[in-house]
Structure formats: C-alpha cells, structure tokens
Amino acid sequence: MEIIVEKIEIPENCNIIFGMSHFIKTIEDLYEILVNSVPDIKFGLAFNEASGPCLVRKEGTDTELMEIAVENQRRIGAGHTFLIILRNAFPINVLPAIKNCREVANIYCATANPVQVIVAKSEQGKGVLGIIDGNSPKGIELDTDITARKDFLRKIGYKR
C-alpha cells in the first residue's frame, strides 16, 4: 500500500466542498441542490464513480470550474468522492442541503483554505484517509482577537 498526498487546486475567490457519496444519482442531486440554494451560483462538480465504467462524472454552471473539479478528482482518484468548487456562494449557503442529500455519506471539508487529501493506494484502487485543511494553530485567541472575530462576522452580514 502507498500513501499519497494530493493538493486540491482551488481557484482564487472560490471555496470547495469535498465529500463522499455512494451512488451515481449523486451528481444530479447535488446539481439540483446547488442551483436551488443560491441564485446565480457558479460551480463545478465532479464525482468519481467506483464501479461499472468508473468515470469521473461532471456537472455545473461554470465550464472552467467544472474542468478544475474534474482534474482534481482525476488526480485524487478515490472512488465515490465528490468535489464541488463554488464561486458567488459559500459552503455555509449550501452545506445543510448537501448533508441532507440521501446519497452523501461524509463531508471531509468545506473551505477556501489550501487542502491536501491523504490518499491510500492499493491494488484495488484509491481511498481517502483524511484531509489537511489549512494550517496548524499558531496561538490562542486573545481578547483583541475575539473582538476582531466578532467584528468580522458582523461586517460580512453573518451576525447582527
């Protein structure tokens, strides 16, 4: 068995959602969830099929983001995983609906941070062991950091 670290390429001003599902129907259901959650959402979605023809299935509203999602998923190569690349929307806008999708088994991350996927490769194929989302903590939040966090959430409209 071999352990591989694959970086997810995330375009500027985009967020991703990386997860696992179990059925080919996922690609269409996630498409419908996304377009019904945020008006004018731009996204690319790729799903790695794990049986039959084992294709990288794709959907989306933005050709460039679809191509980037497909290329990431080809490199990762783990069956039944999906990658959504979002523009004009944030994971917080769509994550509850995605989690409620009947086919979705797991969400590994939802982020704009740099992401590395830890992949195990065997004679059968590839599987996700976990992810590294962003960087390790550099300290402990101080009172000034608390104030800055609260101000930021209000500035972007997520708190009153």
Q: What is the pLDDT of residues 26-53, one digit of tens each?
A: 999 999 999 999 999 999 999 999 999 9
Check residue 149 and give its pLDDT.
95
Check residue 71 and give its pLDDT.
99
pLDDT at 107 over 90: yes
Check residue 12 and give its pLDDT.
97
φ/ψ (deg, to 5) at 102: -55, -30
Contact 105, 37 (CB under 8 A): no
Provide CB contacts within 8 A for 17, sequence distance 6+: 83, 84, 86, 91, 94, 95, 98, 107, 109, 110
Contact 125, 147 (CB under 8 A): no
pLDDT at 156 over 90: no
Q: Work out the percent of the chain whose per-residue pLDDT is above 90.
A: 96
In tens, the pLDDT along 51-91 reads 999 999 999 999 999 999 999 999 999 999 999 999 989 99
Give the start-to-end residue ranges of the domains of the chain.
2-135
Check residue 134 and give its pLDDT.
94
pLDDT at 158 over 90: no
Range 2-135 classified under CATH 3.40.1520.10: yes
Check residue 125 and give its pLDDT.
97
DSSP string, 18-54: EEEE-STTHHHHHHHHHHHHSTT-EEEEEEE--STT-
Check residue 147 and give its pLDDT.
95
Q: For the CA atoms of the chain, what is the radius of gyration? A: 17
Place of tokens 């402990």: 140
